[in-house]
A and B are shown apart, each in its own frame.
Chain A
Amino acid sequence: MSDGVWWASQDFWRKCAIFVTAGMFLVLILLTFHSLAAITAGQDRVPAYSVINHRIDYVFDEERNMKVPVIGEEAPLFGEVLSEEEARALVDLGKLTVQAKNCMNCHTLLGNGAYYAPDLTKAWLDPGWGNEQARELLMTMFLKDPKTNARTYGTNRRMPDLGVTDEEVRGIIAFLKWMSAVDTNGFPQGFEPLPQGGA
């Protein structure tokens, strides 16, 4: 484009490309610093790992016009109050197991992954577990043996037995409980958690 008008000149667009790219990248870096601070565990949007010692609910917030996780009274997982470090180690085991067993190529977590099986963002709060009293036991049984405890709602689409150990199952459940307390800006929309508190 050699006809001389500035908007058709190669030089103009080369500079444009360089400055736009550099500018946008700089903004992204700045936002990244801010976002990473906001999603560090224990900050406002992502809970500390010891959140697994508490009851978690998902309720409508008038001001934000969306459902948000609410961290309630003490309700320790498997009846055992853990320190922040112990809780982190347990959630960590869960996260490692989720990666090593490749759960995300069937399920979505926070909506990302595969679409062959239900989203697990709020699995801890799923009404399918009946009530709070039965939940831990039913989850453990399901994850230990998803074949016999299959539900599949008439589809016969079962989760395979992934050979998880008892300790790994506890880790997975801790991880799922922790994840259900992440502030996801109202995703999944309209999710009704299992009855809280009551029998």
Chain B
Amino acid sequence: MAEAAIANPVRPALDAIAARDTSSLSAGQRLALKYFLVAMVLFVAQMLFGLLAGLQFLYPEFLYGVLDFNVNRMVHINAMIVWMLYGFIGSIYWLVEDEAGVELVGAKLANINFWVLTSAVAVVVVVYLVVQVGPGNKMSIWFINEGREYIEAPRWADIGIVVCMGVFFYTVAGTFMKGRWSGISGTLVLDLIALAGLYLAGMFYTTNLSVDQYWWWWVVHLWVEATWEVLVGCIMAWGLMKTLGARREIVTTWLYIEVAMMFGAGILGLGHHYFWIGTPEYWLGIGGFFSALEPIPLVAMVVHAVYDAGRHSFQSRNHPALAWLIAHAFGNFLGAGVWGFIHTLPQINLYTHGTQWTTSHGHLAFFGAYATIVIAFIYIALQRWRGDVWMSGDLPDRGWKWKWSLALLNVGMLGMTIALLIAGYEQSFIERAIGGSTWAAYFEGQTQPWFVQGMQWRMVFGVVMTLGMVLLLWDFLTIGRGETRPAKEVHAPGPHVG
């Protein structure tokens, strides 16, 4: 897909952005739109390759030897990681000037950076799809793929990504330094340093698989359960101020509370991945205990969002964005908090480790926590781009597109998650508890009716999600067009009581 699907649809759409009136937007905001566009192209790719991989569970002959499961899965999860990072970068470029009170520093450089990064992503994907695998030597790891889940990008691309992140960081931190700092921007910048630093932990080769996985989890866990959470916490704080008119002191205080709790539990919660990889037994206790605390900040975030929305009587200037922000709070709590908690104690994880339980949790957590907030932010950006138009109640045709896409995507994801969880129960019982995880026991589990039906329902709900995605993209293209009413005014309510 890469050259074809990335380059081609992006070009005309970029021209469209150029042709449409973007003169009212700042440099950072125009850049943000480009990042969002690529993010959505990759979202489509993610879904398509997810469907292919899911179909192969049911029809193993499908594309066998042409696009094997490992290739489809790699593209599926890599497209996901990259589109979410693009979504975050876009969101940060969107808010940085507003938050700093000055124009973007190094706007030209930032623009070149976008093209470099996007070309690199395109090349990586083409190589994944065309070359797929290489001989067992370092060249393969440098130029084809690294073969480590989520961070498969070959080494040259790792280095490129780090450089591009450096440029991104320079422009963002530089803008805050030139303008003003705030609690939100300070937290954001420190978090970005940690996020980039952690990526380095995944950039080396070792023969020792235990050491390999030790550091691999630093990237994966300390991203999604620590630094990404705080990053979206910052974005959320800004988003609540903008959509609801929430007061800065309140969102900032909440943000600090969330950071304290998230890092307090999430850093040592890393230990829930160190139960079975060769690391010492003390991780069973440390990992089990601290990761069991991780849901607490996620509950706090739900309370925060609902409290803020309720305090403003759900009067927002952007209904779709607010709805997705609330979906984010609940999705994060359910997918990460509840679905994470159910398999995080070592006594349970012994049987569920590496089964469809994990997939079930992985899907709901990534979607609930991160897909949602990127979508919310795109709505915020679209409103401004289309001229700060009305996006509250009473939309033309009752806003059916955003409402239906919200419903289809969320119901599809929940349905898929439950189908996978049922398959996972069955797998951990038959393959793990009874069969002792042998080759034969694995297939014993895979052929049980409940497992197979779980795989079928995953596809059904995957199609539901895909419809939701199509509708979402259609809504992105149309919402607010031709709207003449200005955006609803929202005010910060009176001083906090109690």
Contacts and interface: CB of A to CB of B under 8 A. Distances in A.
Interface of A: 1-3, 8-10, 13-14, 16-17, 20-21, 24-25, 27-28, 31-32, 34-36, 38-41, 45-46, 49, 88, 91-106, 108-119, 121-123, 126-128, 151-158, 160-165, 168, 171, 175, 179, 182-192
B354 A111 contact: yes
B71 A10 contact: no
B394 interface: no
B356 A115 contact: yes
B160 interface: no
Given A1-B253, A105-B70, A105-B74, A119 B496 contact: no
B190 to A, nearest CB: 9
Given A24-B268, A45-B278, A110-B276, A119 B442 contact: yes
Contacts of B70: 102-106, 114, 116
Chain B contact surface mostly: helix
B147 A119 contact: no
Interface of B: 53, 56-57, 60-61, 64-65, 68-71, 73-74, 132-138, 140-141, 144-149, 152, 183, 187, 205, 207-214, 216, 249-250, 252-253, 256-257, 259-260, 263-264, 267-268, 270, 273-284, 286, 350-351, 353-356, 358-359, 432-440, 442-444, 446-447, 495-496, 498
Given A32-B214, A103-B70, A126-B439, 11 more contacts: A10-B256, A28-B267, A35-B279, A35-B283, A38-B279, A88-B207, A96-B138, A104-B149, A158-B64, A185-B276, A192-B438
Contact of B263 (A24, A88, A110, A121): A24
A170 to B, nearest CB: 11
Contact of B279 (A45, A126, A175): A45
A49 B137 CA distance: 19
Contacts of A9: 253
A20 B495 contact: no
Most A CB contacts (10 A, CB to CB) among B56, B64, B207, B283 go to: B207
A3 to B, nearest CB: 7
B353 A111 contact: yes
A97 B260 CA distance: 42
A96 B279 contact: no
A177 B135 CA distance: 21
